[in-house]
Structure 1
Amino acid sequence: MNKRKWMIVSLLLMMVSFIPTIKAQAAGAGFTMEAVEPDNQLSDATYFDLQVAPNQSQDLTIRVTNQEDQAIKVAISPNPAFTNRNGTIEYSQHDFPKDSSAQYTISELVSQPQEVQLNPQESKDVTFNLKVPADAFQGTITGGFYAKVVDQTDGVQKQTKETTLSVKNEYALVLGLSLTEDPNQKVSPELKLNDVKPGLADDRTAVLANLQNSEPQAFGSMTVDAKIYKKGDSQVLKETKKENQEMAPNSNYDFAISWDNQPLEAGDYQLKLEANSGSKAWSFERDFTIAADEAKSINKKAVDLPERNYWWWLIILLIVILLVSTYTLGKRKGKQGSR
C-alpha cells in the first residue's frame, strides 16, 4: 500500500453474526445493493441468510441501483469472509487463501464475479448461481458480495482526491451471504496458536503470533494479551494488548506484538498469550528463537528504527588504545630506569 495515501473503504454495519446487513448503501458510494429475498431465507435479515441442502443449486439475485447522474460500472464479487491483520472480519478479496480448517468457501460455491453497467438512476438485477456441495457441512459458511465502482463513462476509476492530504477515497459495499444446513446446530468457536515468528507489522519490527479460529463459527469482542520474555527470565520484555478483536469462521491472522520501534535481537524467547471472548478463554505458551540472519534481514526492511550510534564504540576504542599505550610506555620507562 502507498504509504502516502490512506484508503477508506466504507462497509455496512455488521450484526452479531458478523454478516453485513443490507439494503447496502454508503455515503459516497454512488449506488445501492438489495437482496431479492429467496424462499429459503432463514430470518428477517436484509442480507442472504439461507438454509441450504447438500447438492442444492439456486440463483441469488441482487438489485443494484445507480444513484448518480452519470453512468457507472459496478464490479460485484462473491468473496469469503476472512480475518485481516487488524483482527477485523473483512470481505474484500475473492481469491483470499483458504484456511486449512475450512471445508468450503463462498468463492468455491458461487459463480464468478460480474460487472454491471448502469445508466443514471437506473436499477438492474444481477444474478449469481449458488451450488451447495454434495457433502454436508457443519456450522456456517460466510462471505459477502463485495461491490465497488470500477470506472465512469470516461474509463477512469471513481475516486476523489484531497490534494492537501493526498487521500484516495474508495468506497465499497458488502451484501452478506450466510449458508447453513442445520440452523439448530450449535458450533463453539475454537482458538489455536500456530506459528510464532519475527516479522514486520505496518513496516515496523514485531513478533507475529498466528491465531486460528478452526471452527465454522464467527466470534468477536475478543481481548488478546500477549507478553514476550527472554527465555528463562521472568521480566516482561514486550507486551501488546488489544480489545474488540474479531474472527471469521475458519480463518487465521497474525497478531502482532510490537517491538516498540527497536531492532530485533537474536536469541531465545518465550511467548505467553491470553485470549477471551464471552465465556470462552484460551491460554498459550510457546518458546521460539530469533536467528541472527532473520533479525538482520527484518531490521534492514523496518522503518523508524533508531540509527545506531557508533561514537561510543569509537570512544571505547580510543580509551583502550590510550590505556594500552600508557601501560606500554610505563613498562618501557621502567626498563630504562632499571638500567
Structure 2
Amino acid sequence: MKQNLLKIVFAVFALVGIGFAMNTNTVNATSGDFTLKPEASSSSKVNIDGGFYYIDGDPGETVDLKVGVYNTSKESRQFIVYGNTAFTTDEGQPGYDKLKVKDPNLKISMHDLFQNNKQIVTVPAGKDVVVTMNLTIPTQTIGGFLMGGINIQPYHESAKGTVAQDGTLIKNKFSYSLPIELTQAGTKRDDVNYKINLVKPRIVNTMDGKEIGVAANVANTSNAFVSGLSSKATITKYGDKGFKKTETKDDQSIVPTSNYNYTVGWGKEPLKAGKYHIKMVYSGNGVRTWVLDKDFTITNAQANQFNKLAGHKPNYLWLYILLAVLVLALIMGLGVYLGKKGNKGKSAPSRSNNSRNRRRRRR
C-alpha cells in the first residue's frame, strides 16, 4: 500500500513537473525542445511503472537505469546526463538538479553510486537516444530509502531569453529530472525523524511580494520518507501575549537525510528583538502527526539589519518622548532654582531694617 502511494507521488513529480529550470521555475515537459522518459531496464530489480525508477535490490548489486532523451528541435544537439542526490527545496519539494548535496545526516550520496556518471550524448534533430546509467546498490545498510534523480540538460548551450510583461528579460536554461527511489531488499525500514535545527530572520517570498520574516530550518535526519504532508507553524513571543504569527503549507515532502528552510512572514510589522517560540505541526494522510518545538532569539542587530533590508524605518518616538521629558524637567528645575534665588533677594532688606529698629530702641 505504501509502495503504491509512493509510486503515485513520484509519477506526479515525473509527469507534471518532470524537471526544474535552472532559474528554479517549474517548467512543463515540452519546454526547451526536448523531453525524456524512463525506459525498461534489463534488471528485474528496477520498476518504472510509476513513471520513475523504483529499485529494490540486494546490497552490492549493480543495476542499469535507462532514460530516453527526445530532441524535438530542428537541429542536432548535445545533452549532459547526471545522476544526482535528492534534496529538499525551500518550497518543501524534492529537487534533483544539484551536483553536490551536503547534509550532516547524509551518509550515502546517490551521486556516488553511479559508475558512469556525467555522460555527454548527441541526439539528432527529431530523434531519440537511450542513455544507460549503471548504479551499484550500497553494501552499507540503508534502513529506508535513498533518493536521487537522473538530470539532463543541454550541453554548452546559451540560455534562451524571453521578455516578461513588465519588459524584464528572463533567461532560462532548462533542465529535466526523473526521480529515483532505492531500497535494499529485506532490510528493516526506519521511521522519519523531523527536527528544527535553527530559526533565523530572513526576507521571505509571499503572495504579496517580499517581506520580513523568519526561516525555520527543518531536517529529516533519517532515511525514511513520507510525502504530501500538511503543516502549520505558530510563532509566539515571550512576554507579549498579543503577538502571534502563523503559516500553513500543504504538500510538504522532506527528502531523507535532508533539510530545508520553512519560512514564516511577519506581514507589515517590523522585527523586534526578543525571545520567541515556534511550534510546527506536520500531519500525514490524517493519520500521523509530528510536533516540533524550538525557542529562538532575535537580537537587536538582527532586527535592525533585516528591518532596514525590508524598508522599515526606525521608530524614534520613544527618543522624542524621552527628550521632551528631559527638557520639561530642565525647565521645571530652572524655574524652581530661579524662584528660590528671587525669594532670597527679597527677604534680605527686611532683616536689615529690623536690625536698625532694634538699635534705636536701645538708645
Letter of the 2:113 counterpart: L
What secondary structure does 2:32 align onto? coil
Which of residues 222, 244, 265 is equivalent to 2:272?
265
TM-score w.r.t. structure 2 length?
0.76
What secondary structure does 1:288 align onto? strand
What secondary structure does 2:50 align onto? coil
- Residues 3-38 of structure 1 deviation map (CA, whole Å, 9 limit, x = unaligned): xxxxxxxxxxx8324774369671222112232311
Letter of the 1:15 counterpart: I
| CA distance in 1: counterparts of 2:64 and 2:250, whole angstroms | 39
Residue 220 of structure 2 is aligned to residue 210 of structure 1: no
Aligned to 1:113: 118
| CA distance in 1: counterparts of 2:277 and 2:283, whole angstroms | 20
Which of residues 243, 248, 258 is equivalent to 2:250?
243
- Superposition CA RMSD, Å: 3.1
- The offset of 1:275, in angstroms, is 2.1
| CA distance in 2: counterparts of 1:170 and 1:244, whole angstroms | 26
- Residues 57-109 of structure 1 deviation map (CA, whole Å, 9 limit, x = unaligned): 23333221210012333222212221111212211212121x33334222121
| CA distance in 2: counterparts of 1:19 and 1:307, whole angstroms | 45
CA distance 1:212–1:157, shift in 2 (3 Å)? same
Letter of the 1:237 counterpart: K
CA distance 1:166–1:232, shift in 2 (3 Å)? same
- Once the two structures are superposed, the pairs formed by residues 165-244 of structure 1 within 5 Å of their partners are 165-182=168-185, 187-202=190-205, 204-244=211-251
Could you list the runs of 5+ residues in structure 2 that have no partner in the other structure?
1-6, 19-27, 346-363
- Once the two structures are superposed, the pairs formed by residues 1-339 of structure 1 within 5 Å of their partners are 15-17=8-10, 20-21=13-14, 26-38=29-41, 39-40=43-44, 41-42=46-47, 44-97=49-102, 99-110=103-114, 111-152=116-157, 156-162=158-164, 164-182=167-185, 187-202=190-205, 204-278=211-285, 279-300=287-308, 302=309, 304-310=310-316, 313-314=319-320, 317-318=323-324, 320-339=326-345
TM-score w.r.t. structure 1 length?
0.80
Could you list the runs of 5+ residues in structure 1 that have no partner in the other structure?
1-13
Q: Which moved more, 1:260-269 or 1:14-23?
A: 14-23
| CA distance in 2: counterparts of 1:18 and 1:139, whole angstroms | 20
| CA distance in 2: counterparts of 1:83 and 1:240, whole angstroms | 19
Q: Is the 8 A contact 2:214 2:264 kept in 1?
A: yes
- Residues 121-155 of structure 1 deviation map (CA, whole Å, 9 limit, x = unaligned): 13223232212222232222111112222444xxx
Letter of the 1:92 counterpart: D
| CA distance in 1: counterparts of 2:315 and 2:140, whole angstroms | 63
- Residues 175-229 of structure 1 deviation map (CA, whole Å, 9 limit, x = unaligned): 2222222289655433223223344435753333222223323323322222222
- Runs of 4 or more off by more than 6 Å in structure 1? none
| CA distance in 2: counterparts of 1:22 and 1:245, whole angstroms | 18
CA distance 1:136–1:205, shift in 2 (3 Å)? same
In percent, how many aligned pairs have the same letter?
A: 24
- The offset of 1:274, in angstroms, is 2.1
Higher relative contact order (CA 8 A, sep 6+): 1
Letter of the 2:231 counterpart: V
Letter of the 1:216 counterpart: N
